[in-house]
Amino acid sequence: MRTRRSPRNQERLYRALGTTPPAPRPSYVTAVHPAMVRRLVEEVKTKRRSLWGAMKAIKVVTDSHYSDLYVPVTPDTRALVEAYVAAGFSRPSIFACQTDGGTPWYDVAFAYEPYWLARQGK
């Protein structure tokens, strides 16, 4: 008979092994109205709004390295990235973030707008 994975049983297991439980993964899913996401998708497709601007509009946690934009993979960001690709930009790669337990993130090359604004001296 298999034992249930209740929090109490898991606690006992970690205590017996002398380890600590892993930290819970952060949730990057935001509560955004679907109509807003649809509007932003259209703006990204028609190049009226940058991908970085759309991510900021829905208050997604972003990160960057020089000109590369890092965005967690969620249903909303997936729709915006697909619109970005449909607008003619290259498809971003996906990597597992090591700092938050392996959550998948997009690595969008050359899409971090503040980097380019700083390079122009604005």
Proportion of the chain above pLDDT 90, given as a percent: 63
**What average pLDDT does range 103-107 have in this prediction?**
94
Residue span of the structural domain in which 110 resides: 26-120
**93 vs 122, residue with greater confidence:** 93
Q: What is the pLDDT of residue 14?
A: 81
Judged against a pLDDT cut of 80, whether residue 81 lies above it is answered with: yes
Q: What phi, psi does 8 have (nearest 5°)? A: -65, -45
What is the spatial distance between Cα 49 and Cα 92, in angstroms, rounded to a whole number? 18
pLDDT exceeds 60 at position 34: yes
Q: What is the pLDDT of residue 3?
A: 54
Domain-located, residue 89: yes
Question: Does residue 16 lie in a domain region?
Answer: no
- Residue 12, in any domain of the structure: no
Domain assignment present for 56: yes
Residue 75 in any domain: the answer is yes
- The model's pTM: 0.75
* Domain assignment of residue 14, yes or no: no
* DSSP letter string, 62-88: -EEETTEEEEE--HHHHHHHHHHHHTT
Q: Which of 79, 82, 81, 72 is nearest to 111 (CA)?
A: 81
pLDDT confidence bin for 25, thresholds 50/70/90: low
Q: Establish if 19 belongs to a structural domain.
A: no
Is residue 74 included in any domain, yes or no?
yes
The number of folded domains in the chain is 1
